Amino acid sequence: MGQKIKSGQYFAALRANRDNPTAALILEDGSVFTGYGFGAATSNVGEICFNTSMTGYQEILTDPSYAGQIITFTFPHIGNVGANDQDFETITPAALGLIVRQAVTNPASWRATSDLDSWLKTHNLPGISGIDTRALTRRIRDLGAPRGALCCAPDGNIDIDALKAQAAAWPGLKNMDLAVDVTCDNPHDWHQGSWQMDKSAHLETPSKYKVVAMDFGCKHNILRSLEDAGCAVHVVPANATADEIMALQPDGVFLSNGPGDPAATAAYAGPQIAKLIDQNMPVFGICIGHQLMALALGAKTHKMDRGHRGANHPVKDLATGKIEITSQNHGFVVDPDSLPAELEVSHISLFDKSVEGLRHTSKPAFCVQYHPESSPGPHDSRYLFERFTDLMEKTRA
């Protein structure tokens, strides 16, 4: 169980962490943050990012898009609702660890089946608490997401120099194809709608459309949302070919979210996506699926300094003028100056004007950078799944 700290003892605990640390975070520039370790007694190296969501830490930690990353939570109360059996976004978490301000406490939720500390141990994930996450977040915001090493050592045996070397040697996410690490091993059908809290069961919706989902690291709630929209979903690995997909005779193809550099994944997925679009197959992409669709048609992507990760990002639909509050998790973005003539921008971020959505001008294909399925986050953009089914209906007609 995580360390329990009563009111008035927090800064004393910070001093104890400084003098007798059981965990450390080392950045590539040599910066050292020491604190109290929880979760698995292990160390991992990856990119240090931050997420501003106030809820859904279990969904965030199990989002495959966080492969290669260690997550800093800006909200202080992480672990307060424990962990449960419904809020998974993948079977095995792909994140490398977590960084929090306050020590993890006992869960206070009727849904909890485990405390967070035990859940992290089960999945071999290290955590560190008791550090100044605001200072770390400002550092990421101002200087970009650094490479870093996180070590949880209950015995206090922490080799700072070795961790510094590991952080400096890690190559970074650029040019890294991580979809191959998180995609499914074999094609399979998906049979599960959204969880209905009042009925303690999953929503059951009659299937009207057959959709093939290309799994680049797909969140379960995306598949649930497709099921809710009346889609019979068949999931295929990231390296599936257009011919294999077309042989299944789907009504549409979905391009999932996922981790890593989209340009690296597009080396093999891009030509297949381009072929599907060329054959007038309705296509809907989310997150890296959005980036892969753009790359497949000739656009370029680049790495962002800090990325977008949180559940309060405003996005504008340029066709309707509607403002959506969205859930986001991405560190790469489509370059608007590289877009081919057949792609037009449909949505933009009101934070930095970056591209948040694209549509094909003559083919039944569109994509968004953000997460309309949320989990966690607002439901403002759930209509996009209906837009996909409408597109399939028109194409079928």
Q: Residue 322: its pLDDT value, please?
A: 96
Q: Which amino acid is at 330?
A: H
Residue 236 lies in a domain: yes
Listed residue (50, 6, 7, 43) closest to 24, CA to CA: 43
User: Are 187 and 276 members of one domain?
Assistant: yes
Q: What is the pLDDT of residue 105?
A: 86
Please indicate, yes or no, if residue 186 is contained in any of the structural domains. yes
Q: What is the mean pLDDT of residues 292-302?
A: 98
Mark whether 323 and 383 lie in a shared domain: yes
CB 240 within 8 A of CB 234: no
How far does CA 217 lie from the centroid of its chain? 9
What is the model's pLDDT at position 18? 62
Residue 279 in domain? yes
Position 4 scores a pLDDT of 45
Select from 135, 169, 203 the last residue of a domain.
169
**pLDDT score recorded for residue 2:** 42
For residue 316, what pLDDT is reported?
A: 98
- The residue annotated as part of the active site, out of 220, 308, 330, 371, is 371
Domain boundary among 113, 146, 169: 169
- 329/376 same-domain check: yes
Q: 141-174 burial, b if ≥16 CB within 10 A, otherwise e?
A: eeeebbbbbbbbbeeeebeeeebbebbbebeebe
pLDDT of residue 205: 81
Average pLDDT of the segment spanning 56-66: 97
Domain of 150 in residue numbering reads as 10-169
pTM of the shown model: 0.94
- At 16, the pLDDT band (50, 70, 90 cuts) reads low
Whether 139 and 192 share a structural domain: no
Residues of the chain with pLDDT > 90: what percent? 88
Residue 377 φ/ψ, nearest 5 degrees: 130, 180
Instruction: Identify whether residues 198 and 218 lie together within a single domain.
Output: yes
Asked whether residue 224 falls in the same domain as residue 127, the answer is no
- Number of neighbours of residue 115 by Cβ within 10 angstroms: 20
**Mean residue pLDDT across the chain:** 94
Q: Is residue 232 part of a domain?
A: yes
Instruction: Write the single-letter amino acid at 365.
Output: A
**What pLDDT does 15 receive?**
59
- pLDDT-derived band at 11, boundaries 50, 70, 90: low
Q: Are strands 97-99 and 126-129 parallel, antiparallel or unpaired?
A: parallel
Q: How many domains does the chain have?
A: 2
Q: Which residues in 256-289 are b (16+ Cβ under 10 Å) and which e? A: bbbbbbbbbbbeebbebbbbbbeeebbbbbbbbb
Tokens of 118: 């035990």
Strands 23-27 and 147-152: antiparallel
CATH number of the domain to which 101 belongs: 3.50.30.20
My answer on whether 147 and 204 are in the same domain is: no
Confidence of residue 17 (pLDDT cuts 50, 70, 90): low
Instruction: Answer yes or no: do 294 and 219 share one domain.
Output: yes
Where do the H-state alpha helices sit in the chain? 10-19, 57-61, 116-122, 133-143, 160-169, 179-182, 220-228, 242-246, 262-278, 288-296, 383-396
Non-local (6+) Cβ contacts of 390 within 8 A are none
Q: What's the pLDDT tens digit per position in 123-150?
A: 999 999 999 999 999 999 999 999 999 9
Mean of pLDDT values over 276-294: 98
Residues 237 and 138 in one domain: no
Q: Which of 47, 287, 324, 347 is catalytic?
A: 287
Where is 304: in which H helix or E strand? strand 301-317
Does some domain include residue 2?
Answer: no
Average pLDDT over residues 374-381: 94
Say whether pLDDT at 3 is over 90: no
Domain boundary among 169, 197, 216: 169
Domain annotation covers residue 250? yes
Give the Cα separation of 212 and 219 in Å (integer): 15
Q: Are residues 141 and 213 in the same domain?
A: no
Known catalytic residue: 373?
Answer: yes
Determine the average pLDDT of the residues in 174-179: 98
User: Of the given ranges (5-9, 322-326, 339-343), which has the lowest mean pLDDT?
Assistant: 5-9
Please tell me the predicted confidence (pLDDT) of residue 197. 72
CA dihedral over 83, 89, 94, 96, signed as positive or negative: negative
What's the CATH code of the domain at 341? 3.40.50.880
Beta-bridge mates of residue 300: none
Provide the pLDDT confidence category of residue 206 given band limits of 50, 70 and 90: confident
φ, ψ (nearest 5 deg) of residue 129: -125, 170
Is 371 one of the catalytic residues? yes
pLDDT of 27 reads 97
What is the chain's length? 397
- According to DSSP, the residues that pair with 45 across neighbouring strands are 149
CB 343 within 8 A of CB 358: yes
Shared domain for 252 and 124, answered yes or no, is no
349 occurs within a structural domain: yes
Query: Which tens digits make up the pLDDT trace of 91-112?
Result: 889 999 999 999 998 899 999 9
State the Cα–Cα distance between residues 23 and 38, nearest whole angstrom.
8
- Report the 10 Å Cβ neighbour count for 373: 26
Q: Are 97 and 231 in a shared domain?
A: no
Has residue 174 been placed in a domain?
no
| Between 4 and 283, residue with greater pLDDT | 283
Contact assessment for residue 311 and residue 378, using Cβ atoms and an 8 Å cutoff: yes
